[in-house]
Structure 1
Amino acid sequence: MSNKTNIACPCGMNTQHSPLLYDTCCGPLHANALKAASPEQLMRSRYTAFVMKLYDYLIATHHPEYLHGLTASTLAQSPEIHWLTLQIISSSITDLQGQVEFQAWYKDETGIDAIHERSEFQCIEGDWLYTQGEQFDAIFPKRNQACLCGSGKKFKQCCL
């Protein structure tokens, strides 16, 4: 499927306290070998697509009525950032609609920040698609919690 067989999937999905590998997690969705079974699975695959710069996948999983001119080329011109981790806060499904609230942590030249969003999804002919999201302020870790960069240090001693 890909040359990323031995890497942990960036979406952070775990099974029995072990991270899933990309090729058994988001990889099949990116290769169009599998459809997302839920809004949360689609959200995780979209986060991983941002990490891996799979901009065509992001456009393909975005409801066309909500693109507002967004293209893969536009996404490719975004400033360079280093994605750190995805935190799913909540997820819900009702019939053909769903919501996922998450924080996607990243580091850029100004430091650590997060996109905190409640995303909306619609299922159309069996395909879950992202429509839009409501943004919120990021909820940062407390000073003595582990830093989000993965260093193993406390947040106050690392990226604060």
Structure 2
Amino acid sequence: MSLCPCCSGLAYDHCCQPYHQRQQYAPTPEALMRSRFSAYAIGLVDYIVETYAPKLNAAQFRNDIADGTQLQWRLLEVISSDAKENSGTVNFVAWFMDEQGQLACLAEHSRFIKEGGQWYYLDGEQRHPDTVYRQRGRNTPCPCLSGKKFKQCCA
């Protein structure tokens, strides 16, 4: 039994796998965010496309989405999340190794909508990576998952 790529600490089959296999819908914006991160990490392009808000017609960006699944997604840190009846937000930092093998991150305030009982990703406002790097403590574990401290690894 392997841990879920979304960094929840749960086994994949008890976390994001039921969403990926369309056995159930993610019950919250945070659960959808985590399942989308996991989908990027394991290359589930169709799931990512399907979880964009329908009005965005994400299928037209399928190749760009597929390119994103080629990165080595390492760590998801959910900073905060909020859900109302049909809208929600998630603030997160997603760490990955870029094409040159350098640690990078995507920090975003994402918006979600609920239509027909299902949550969808709507859009997001990105934060500059330098801000995220400065906020990360030098003695915290490195997000590349090397087991070293950030200051001794990728800082």
TM-score of the pair, normalised by structure 1: 0.87
Which has the larger share of helix? 2
- Correspondent of 1:82 among 69, 72, 78: 72
Deviations 1:80-100 (A, max 9, x none): 321110000110012200000
Structure 2: gaps of 5 or more residues: none
Q: Does 1:47 align with 2:37?
A: yes
Number of equivalenced pairs: 150
Q: Any idea what SS the aligned residue of 1:143 has?
A: coil
Deviations 1:65-108 (A, max 9, x none): 12466443332244832111000011001220000010000112
Change (3 A) 1:79 1:47: closer
Change (3 A) 1:61 1:89: same
Change (3 A) 1:137 1:88: same
TM-score of the pair, normalised by structure 2: 0.89
How far the C-alpha of 1:114 sits from its partner, in A, is 0.8
State, as a whole percentage, how many aligned pairs show the same letter: 39
**Rounded Cα–Cα distance in structure 2 between residues aligned with 1:81 and 1:123:** 29
* Code of the aligned partner of 1:24: H
Q: Does 1:143 align with 2:134?
A: no
Map 1:85-100; keep pairs closer than 5 Å: 85-100=75-90
Q: Does the 8 A contact of 1:66 with 1:132 survive in 2?
A: no
**Rounded Cα–Cα distance in structure 1 between residues aligned with 2:120 and 2:38:** 15
How far the C-alpha of 1:44 sits from its partner, in A, is 0.3
How far the C-alpha of 1:121 sits from its partner, in A, is 0.5
- Of 22-31 and 63-72, deviating more is 63-72
Q: Does 1:8 align with 2:3?
A: yes
Q: Does the 8 A contact of 1:103 with 1:116 survive in 2?
A: yes
**Corresponding residue for 1:152?**
147
